[in-house]
Amino acid sequence: MKNIQPYLMAVLVLLTCTLTSCDVIGDIFKAGMWTALIVIVIVVLLIVWLFRKLRR
């Protein structure tokens, strides 16, 4: 155990290849995209409803 650096490097490379955080980040952005889309649709529908109420 005098020279542990090669083992640490091998473990680091193994973890880098097996643990991908891109899937987690992608899911977070996907959830954010759908949330933003739903909010935008609700706001647009509210504005259309308000214009229709004001025209009557």
Residue 53 lies in a domain: yes
Decide if 30 is inside a domain: yes
Task: Give the per-residue SS3 of 10-38.
Answer: HHHHHHHHHCCCHHHHHHHHHHHHHHHHH
- Which mean pLDDT values do the consecutive 10-residue runs of the chain (56 residues) have? 71 69 69 82 90 84
| pLDDT for res 45 | 93
> Is residue 10 a part of any domain in this protein?
no
Q: Helix or strand or coil: residue 5?
A: helix
Does the residue 47 lie in any domain?
Answer: yes
- Looking at the domain assignment, is residue 1 inside a domain? no
CA angle in degrees (0–180, nearest 5) for 17-32-40: 155
What's the domain range around 27? Answer: 23-56
Query: How many domains does one find in the chain?
Result: 1
pTM for this predicted structure: 0.49
